[in-house]
Structure 1
């Protein structure tokens, strides 16, 4: 019989996980040595960037991603990035090397003490197999759990001497295992929902990231048009579930109780699909629902359904639900009036972020993918963006910085691997860029054709705004001056330039589109509010 290592590679191959993101340490070498030729190792220079790259890859591809971390230290370095993966429901299979099994209790150098507890409560499941013979089965469990609803990251710690042990004969059954979810609405539930929707005088849709993750955007459009309902994106969105230039689109709901209630006032039925109810940020208390409003919630995540403070929830496949609701017979109501076109933007130096986003709307490919981590420019982006296709927008789902730059690399790797031809544009604030800057090296070494746009205003813009909200003006540590991102990028091997006007940005951007290698454009921008 093959050893545990060989069976593990067969198991990963059978599940299509042949791309591995990592930064190796001594505990990981016995597994990585002599990696099969059909596997690809994507090296990152810091585990936080490694995990964020894998997260971007998983979200863009719609498939699980495999991550290899180094013991406790490497796991600790990745935990900040892991918070985003939890709330984006990214199916990451995270492995970590452990010291020789017989020495773990001695807490020798690089032992992962109580390894299974380290990533909790963030991961869906975490374990260190009780024996070498159980490693293949535990990894199989991790692979299936990561993809079953609600999707999310899992973690397995493996002592490095386990790989050389003989695998048990029954491990061969793992290679043929398949699991799938079947959470469709019953016919009765679907009929009740349709009756509620058709009976409402003024319904409204609130869509979340799960709609985009399940590629149900077109069905959401059909439902909105059938109902003649306006559409909001749920607060703090990590993805874009609805085309932003559709007449029904109303924007992103504020991330505060009172703001959501005011935006939805006048609607008697609120249908929330594929989003938590709700992910608030600013503490601005108020009534959770407008007077006379009823809230119905469709989600594939039992946790989201259970913890909501109001409404009636159904745990189901949101893709199936939207398809059936949108295709149901019934005449379409009058469509809502579209929002006015974005206001004209001022072209100056430094660049108004709204002008930069307007230039992207005009010059970027229609199927461009935006990975955004410029938090102070969120409002300007949503007012200007023209996002038409599923998988066009990714943002750190928990607000943890360091996601954007490496996630853009991972997303572009996924699209290149799938052959979609889509270009990824990373819109990164200068405060955020420093958290994941080492991913530039991976982009250069792998020749990943991401276009990085660093919006440089020399300060933590969103934090400055929040200081005003919290009456905490005068807080130290708000400014980050004196950083030459173009110089840093060139040091990592990435072509880079700095610009101060919209015209110069447009010229640099159109040149970058013609290249099949990574490019960084540093743009000096005005300070704006989210």
Structure 2
């Protein structure tokens, strides 16, 4: 008779989930013993790093990631990263070991007394199988739920004594049947809905498109570009974008909306119809009150997320597949609009300068990094105060080329970059990270070195949490402690983890270091770049 472990491995193989990101403890060893050769285990030194690597892996590879954590403490350590994964809409199955069933009632050491409550509300579903025979079907169900739009992490608690339990033939067949199931999600909008939306767009005096992360994540990039070009409408990126959803070098692209109610409305002034595709309405922070829309303007949201549609503070919404919706609108508008549209606005030229004593400004540093990186680079960004400069320098114009954390919590960048490189080994990965941000997941450097993952980490060092200093200004909280972080030596830390490290003292040197790092496959490289501080503005 076959065991639960064998059935579980078959489920994971059938789902293509043969890479395991983990940090094992005693309650996970029964699952991992006699680890099969066709699986890959990626070790992280801390659980938030483990989940962050899985996050980047899933987003870069377009697959569902598998995480293995150590009962309650490991899950607790990972919670911030799981929240980021939920905000990123990352398909991910998070498992955690559990004490043997015979000692759960007495809450013996390493018991997770309420295992399904601990990860909530960061996960879409949390479950502990009631019987050993239910473990494999539960994991199959977890994968289906993780892959159901809106994608997101799910959690399964696994008692450690279940894996050696034997299955009956009927139970084994049930597990195999669950593993083989496939669910397709591709619901198009009703024809009458398409006609109504197209009539509203064609009848608007000045419509505008706002595109968000799910355009890239759902594969709707080409369809949305075709819709924009057919209508000739200006295109904005939704605020706090975690993906690039429209070519940043496109003549119809206007930039990124700011994440504050009043200022965002000012950016949309003059438009009477706002069509939002694949974004929440909207990610706001900090709080600057005002009207949600300009006077007389209306809003339409196209989304795959029914909850996102329900919580929008303004406008109508259609819940449907984004690619099918954009294509249907384009076809319908072909009969309603003449070719062409508003004249495109050329991109403004940026002036690159150095700061005092030759220290690079953020824009100069970003420009030098972009000049050294190959065209097919997969970018990971966690330098929150320098996002505008990053986009001005890189002008990303291909889908699947940019990852940022939609959740607002730090610790995503370094870990996600390692996972992204493992998930997309044919592309160079360049992670641009602040010197404050990298220390939230600095243990990821060890994994990159140990597995020879050729990530290029570029650390922008200004010895402070610049984004918090900006928030302190906005929120009238000057004088708050803990915003400066002097004394960091990231090159020494990287060397201690086994990563080759350099310090760049000029644009030319920085460009060459990035060029050399992305051209090799021998392991990670970290480049420390002293920069000036420029606080964002709304």
**What is the TM-score with the length of structure 1 in the denominator?**
0.97
Distance in 2 between the 1:422 and 1:100 partners? 43
1:252 equivalent in structure 2: 256
The reply on whether 1:387 has 2:396 as its aligned counterpart is yes
Residues 258-277 of structure 1 mapped to structure 2, 5 A cutoff? 258-277=262-281
1:446 equivalent in structure 2: 451
3-state secondary structure, aligned to 2:433: strand
Residues 88-167 of structure 1 mapped to structure 2, 5 A cutoff? 88-167=88-167
The reply on whether 1:221 has 2:225 as its aligned counterpart is yes
1:515 equivalent in structure 2: 520
Distance in 2 between the 1:518 and 1:453 partners? 11
The reply on whether 1:304 has 2:313 as its aligned counterpart is no
3-state secondary structure, aligned to 2:97: strand
The reply on whether 1:314 has 2:323 as its aligned counterpart is no
Distance in 2 between the 1:176 and 1:235 partners? 39
| Structure 1 residue 192 displacement after superposition | 1.7
2:432 equivalent in structure 1: 427
Deviation readout 1:89-110 (Å, 9 max, x if unpaired) = 1001000000001111212111
Distance in 2 between the 1:361 and 1:230 partners? 26
Residues 334-345 of structure 1 mapped to structure 2, 5 A cutoff? 334-345=341-352
| Structure 1 residue 290 displacement after superposition | 0.7
Asked if the contact 2:414–2:457 (Cα under 8 Å) also holds between the matched residues in 1, the reply is yes
Which of 395, 403, 412 is matched with 1:403 structurally? 412
| RMSD over aligned Cα atoms | 1.2
Deviation readout 1:393-424 (Å, 9 max, x if unpaired) = 111111110000010011111111xxxx3211
1:11 equivalent in structure 2: 11
Deviation readout 1:278-327 (Å, 9 max, x if unpaired) = 11011001111111111000100111001111100011111221233234
Distance in 2 between the 1:500 and 1:198 partners? 53
The reply on whether 1:364 has 2:373 as its aligned counterpart is yes
Asked if the contact 1:97–1:158 (Cα under 8 Å) also holds between the matched residues in 2, the reply is yes
Distance in 1 between the 2:465 and 2:264 partners? 26
Distance in 2 between the 1:333 and 1:202 partners? 14
| Structure 1 residue 447 displacement after superposition | 1.1
Deviation readout 1:266-287 (Å, 9 max, x if unpaired) = 1111100000011101100111
Distance in 2 between the 1:326 and 1:213 partners? 20
1:471 equivalent in structure 2: 476
Asked if the contact 2:139–2:156 (Cα under 8 Å) also holds between the matched residues in 1, the reply is yes
Distance in 2 between the 1:175 and 1:344 partners? 56
**What is the TM-score with the length of structure 2 in the denominator?**
0.96
Distance in 2 between the 1:109 and 1:172 partners? 34
| Structure 1 residue 383 displacement after superposition | 2.3
| Structure 1 residue 193 displacement after superposition | 1.6
Asked if the contact 1:500–1:525 (Cα under 8 Å) also holds between the matched residues in 2, the reply is no
Asked if the contact 1:251–1:382 (Cα under 8 Å) also holds between the matched residues in 2, the reply is no
- 222-231 or 9-18: bigger deviation: 222-231
Asked if the contact 2:10–2:176 (Cα under 8 Å) also holds between the matched residues in 1, the reply is no
2:285 equivalent in structure 1: 281
3-state secondary structure, aligned to 2:86: helix
Asked if the contact 2:215–2:245 (Cα under 8 Å) also holds between the matched residues in 1, the reply is yes
Asked if the contact 2:413–2:431 (Cα under 8 Å) also holds between the matched residues in 1, the reply is yes
Distance in 1 between the 2:227 and 2:237 partners? 15
- 106-115 or 22-31: bigger deviation: 106-115
Asked if the contact 2:499–2:525 (Cα under 8 Å) also holds between the matched residues in 1, the reply is yes
Distance in 2 between the 1:464 and 1:266 partners? 33
3-state secondary structure, aligned to 1:434: helix
Deviation readout 1:319-341 (Å, 9 max, x if unpaired) = 22123323442433334332433
Distance in 2 between the 1:5 and 1:240 partners? 40
The reply on whether 1:455 has 2:460 as its aligned counterpart is yes
The reply on whether 1:346 has 2:350 as its aligned counterpart is no
2:489 equivalent in structure 1: 484
Unaligned runs of 5+ in 2: none
Judged with a 3 Å threshold, the aligned counterparts in structure 2 of structure 1 residues 172 and 381 are, in CA distance, closer, same or farther, namely closer
Asked if the contact 2:141–2:178 (Cα under 8 Å) also holds between the matched residues in 1, the reply is no
1:501 equivalent in structure 2: 506
Asked if the contact 1:229–1:336 (Cα under 8 Å) also holds between the matched residues in 2, the reply is no
Distance in 2 between the 1:252 and 1:182 partners? 29
3-state secondary structure, aligned to 1:296: strand
Q: How many aligned residue pairs are there? A: 526
Distance in 2 between the 1:336 and 1:141 partners? 50
1:189 equivalent in structure 2: 193
- 446-455 or 356-365: bigger deviation: 356-365
Distance in 1 between the 2:35 and 2:95 partners? 15
Distance in 2 between the 1:342 and 1:7 partners? 59
Unaligned runs of 5+ in 1: none
3-state secondary structure, aligned to 2:436: helix
Distance in 2 between the 1:29 and 1:435 partners? 27
Which of 364, 375, 400 is matched with 2:384 structurally? 375
| Structure 1 residue 385 displacement after superposition | 2.3
Distance in 1 between the 2:491 and 2:330 partners? 48
